[in-house]
Amino acid sequence: MYHFVHKRICVFCGSSNKVDPKYFEAAKTLGRVLAQNSLALVYGGGGAGLMGAVADATKKHGGKVYGIIPSFMMEKEWGHQGIDELLQVEDMRQRKKKMIEDVDAIIALPGGCGTLEELLEVMTLKQLGLITVPILLVNIDGFYDPLLKQFENCIDEIFMRPMHRRVWHVCTNTENIIQDINNAPQWKNEDGKLAAI
């Protein structure tokens, strides 16, 4: 069973307000579950789309929410004004670095290029042994199936090792996210020594 140390969970997700309601429901459920388990949300600081939904739900159920947002996004008034802390950073790189500091797990809800870029970066860091926390892909109605297929292609073509399947963990809903974190494959720093094929 995974041992929660920092009581903070990083969530990557989309900011579109036009996506299917099923994605909003998953985000709201995630926020509720985090709050009910005394886990703080660390996310990109936005107030729109799934970002706003997970933050609002976490707050609604008594949880703590910490946002990390680049200054240029604040200038566009994209920041969520109703959360516990909204930290402004210089750029997207600093945002990603701060979002994953001292967290117990990283969760990727569905999203676009930004979400995928964040997800692939942390997977790379984990593959190299620079982080070891569980990385969960919330595969709602097969959203991540094409990406998972590409990972299998990378393994088949020997760009990745079979052991690298332990870098990520797939779940299909957010109601059972705590159990999914607990059931995620273990990864150690020394596993990064096998990053090279």
| Digit-coded pLDDT (tens) for 122-140 | 999 999 999 999 999 999 9
In contact, 75 and 56? CB cutoff 8 Å: no
| CA–CA distances in Å: residue 152 to residues 132, 156, 195 | 21, 6, 16
29's tokens: 């459920």
Run of H or E residues at 32: helix 21-36
User: Could you report the per-residue pLDDT of 96-124, keeping only the tens digit for each?
Assistant: 999 999 999 999 999 999 999 999 999 99
- Over residues 167-184, the mean pLDDT reads 97
Contacts of 3 (CB under 8 A, 6+ apart): none
Question: Residues 103, 10: contact at Cβ < 8 Å?
Answer: yes
Pair 10, 108: CB distance under 8 Å: no
Q: How far is CA 91 from the centre of its chain?
A: 19
pTM over 0.85? The answer is yes
CATH class of 8-181: alpha beta
